[in-house]
């Protein structure tokens, strides 16, 4: 039950929106929204669902609380929660596009998104063009009569390239196109693409929003009433919804999002500076470093740099594998955004589904390592890397 309180601060919203205590007669005043496990909802009148709820796939009180909370954090009118990030992406595309439509996408994308475009949607009759969206003019040049949507990640995965959201939004607005932004890497705490002109924001809530590597989910947020009608219809028709229990876990995780993002960033910056000075590292990619090519742009459109960085180790893929397998605190695992530090080799892990020729063309080499920096004591993380570097002998 809403108490009609207007919250100003991000952290206050993260804790309270969607979970205000209910003091109506018979209610218990829960300070945490209950996990509503009922799959169906009884009604007194045949044609009137009780409180608007009829079946768990269509809507659920715990899921609704999550959607309201996340929409408030992204400054969105609407939020829809899905079973995973790829389910959210699929529903966006099926709801808003038709076979024959053309999509312009960033050439550096999460491997699963690229697989979805190349292996699924192209077969369904869609066309996809990939461009380096760090240069907004390339987005404009790629527009065709059939273009309907532009899809970007910023920062991108795993090369952490940054797109000018405002500039691209101006282009899509002029041509009547939809701009979708994957905001997973920075979360609503550091970046709000809707405020910069984007039409749709997508998150893998498995990552920073959930934050504890224990819950799978995806979120789509937007302001358009027509989008809401179409997306909600397709979400229900497809059945790509997050469960009540997973909604609860995500609600719990998001309450500490601001605190976690600050610590992720602090640790990531310290590690980036350490790696920049290491003789066995040839390149460090982190938006918080002044050496990053879009450092100044990122400072204009975000309030932080996040907790993901990538670096290239000198030597061969065997050297990279030996380094990774020698780590003791970092978990050698896919995914990112959890409180624990994760590290991986994109060429054989998260981006293995991307053709080698395509990977190398955009800069995903065999020795590129992606790191999701956790919230541990940074001195322990650096000590772990030091001992792992000692295990490789690079000529």
How far is C-alpha 96 from the geometric centre of its chain's CA atoms? Answer: 20
- Other CB atoms closer than 10 Å to residue 266's CB: what's the count? 16
Q: Answer yes or no: 260 catalytic.
A: no
DSSP 94-163: HHH--TT-EEEEESS--HHHHHIIIIIITTTT-EEEEE-TTSHHHHHHT--TTEEEEEEESS-TTT----
Catalytic residue among 57, 77, 138, 266: 57
Catalytic residue among 107, 108, 164, 182: 182
Catalytic residue among 207, 260, 359, 370: 207
Encode burial over 138-148: b for 16+ CB neighbours within 10 A, e otherwise: ebbebbeeebb
Beta strands 147-153 and 178-182: pairing type?
A: parallel
Does the CA dihedral 221-225-228-230 come out positive or negative?
A: negative
Does the CA dihedral 197-89-235-174 come out positive or negative?
A: positive
Q: Answer yes or no: 115 catalytic.
A: no
Six token digits for residue 181: 């932004």
Phi and psi angles of residue 283, each rounded to the nearest 5 degrees, phi first: -160, 140
Q: Answer yes or no: 182 catalytic.
A: yes
d(CA 386, CA 76): 44
Catalytic residue among 63, 69, 78, 110: 110
d(CA 326, CA 382): 13
Q: Which residues are catalytic?
A: 57, 110, 182, 207
């Amino acid at each position: 039950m809403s108490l009609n309180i207007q919250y100003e601060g991000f952290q206050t919203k993260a804790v309270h929106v969607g979970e205000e205590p209910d003091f109506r007669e018979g209610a218990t005043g829960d300070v945490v929204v209950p996990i509503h496990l009922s799959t169906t909802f009884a009604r007194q009148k045949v044609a009137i669902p009780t409180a608007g709820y009829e079946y768990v796939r269509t809507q659920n009180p715990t899921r609704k609380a999550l959607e309201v909370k996340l929409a408030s954090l992204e400054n969105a009118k609407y939020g829809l929660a899905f079973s995973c990030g790829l389910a959210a992406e699929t529903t966006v595309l099926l709801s808003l596009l038709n076979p024959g439509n053309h999509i312009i996408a960033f050439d550096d994308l999460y491997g699963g998104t690229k697989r979805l475009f190349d292996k699924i949607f192209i077969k369904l009759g869609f066309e996809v063009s990939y461009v380096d969206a760090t240069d907004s003019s390339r987005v404009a040049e790629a527009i065709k009569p059939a273009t309907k949507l532009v899809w970007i990640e910023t920062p991108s995965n795993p090369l952490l390239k940054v797109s000018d959201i405002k500039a691209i939004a101006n282009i899509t607005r002029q041509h009547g196109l939809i701009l979708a932004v994957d905001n997973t890497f920075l979360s609503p705490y550091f970046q709000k693409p809707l405020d910069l002109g984007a039409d749709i924001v997508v998150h893998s809530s498995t990552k920073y929003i959930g934050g504890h590597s224990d819950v799978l989910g995806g979120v789509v947020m937007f302001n358009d009433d027509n989008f809401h009608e179409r997306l909600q219809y397709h979400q229900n028709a497809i059945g790509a919804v997050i469960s009540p229990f997973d909604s609860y876990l995500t609600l719990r995780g998001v309450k500490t999002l601001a605190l976690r993002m600050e610590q992720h960033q602090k640790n990531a910056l310290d590690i980036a500076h350490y790696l920049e000075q290491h003789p066995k590292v040839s390149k460090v990619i982190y938006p918080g470093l002044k050496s990053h090519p879009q450092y100044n742009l990122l400072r204009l459109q975000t309030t932080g740099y996040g907790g993901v960085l990538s670096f290239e180790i000198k030597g061969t893929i065997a050297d990279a594998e030996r380094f990774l397998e020698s780590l003791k605190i970092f978990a050698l695992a896919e995914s990112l955004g959890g409180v624990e530090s994760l590290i991986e080799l994109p060429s054989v892990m998260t981006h293995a589904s991307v053709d080698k020729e395509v990977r190398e063309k955009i800069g995903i080499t065999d020795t590129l390592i992606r790191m999701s920096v956790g919230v541990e004591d940074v001195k322990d993380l650096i000590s772990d890397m030091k001992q792992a570097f000692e295990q490789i002998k690079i000529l």
